[in-house]
Amino acid sequence: MRVTNPDAYVLRENTGTSGVVESARTAVGVLAEHDIPHLIVGGIAVQEHGYPRVTIDVDIVVPDVLEAVEWLTASLTGPFYRVPKVGDRIEDERNGVFIDLLPAGRVMKAGCKIPFPEPKVVTEKLQIVSLEELISLKLDSWSGSPNKRLKDKADVNELVLRRKLPRDLAVNPAVQALYLEAWDALQAEG
């Protein structure tokens, strides 16, 4: 894998979370075999965009969640199997890593305003969501559940600080006020 963020690579290799990337690579390889495009969001995307933090699962946006689950769990020899009673989650039996499949063009849950982006590229390489889309999704998720999704807000703050992001970053208009509020508060704290 081409390392886009050396700090994220060091984090994964030294905290035992390299299995998360192994699971992600295997999953996108299977998706590519079946002409299914994907986008990586969540913790891996946060790492690749400049905030090396621990993550224990993989979040993959696909056009059709049910089709992706079918192909990923079709092999009798594994490594993926369905998590009982959770239709959009699979588990890698090699390391216990969960993979959540997320629906392109739909929102995360009721109350959210920003749909997951439509993946366009079919490839065996991890396709990371853009920084602007990631920040927009994180702020949207946080605003819908500010106590349960506090990590999403922390991810945004860390990315703003570490990447020295501009105040006029092209985030989704639905969360622009939240981004400006966070940006201004971080600047005020020095």
pLDDT(1) > 60? no
What pLDDT does 6 receive?
64
The answer to whether position 179 is within a domain reads: yes
pLDDT(14) > 60? no
The answer to whether position 1 is within a domain reads: no
The answer to whether position 120 is within a domain reads: yes
Question: In this structure, are residues 45 and 24 in contact, taking their beta carbons and an 8 Å threshold?
Answer: no
pLDDT(16) > 60? no
Question: Token pair of 40, please?
Answer: 């990586």
Its domain, for residue 122, covers: 6-189
CA-CA-CA-CA torsion for 183, 143, 50, 69, nearest 10 degrees? Answer: -160
Band of residue 12 on the pLDDT scale cut at 50, 70, 90: low
The answer to whether position 113 is within a domain reads: yes
pTM higher than 0.85 for the full model? yes
pLDDT digits (tens, 9 = 90+) for 90-122: 999 999 999 999 999 999 888 899 999 999 999
What pLDDT does 108 receive?
82
- Between vectors from CA 5 to CA 1 and to CA 148, what angle results, nearest 5°? 105
- The mean pLDDT value for 163-175 works out to 98
pLDDT(131) > 90? yes
The CATH code of the domain that includes 142 is 3.30.460
Question: Token pair of 174, please?
Answer: 């639905």
The answer to whether position 173 is within a domain reads: yes
Mean pLDDT over each residue of the chain, to the nearest integer: 92
Quote the number of domains for the chain. Answer: 1
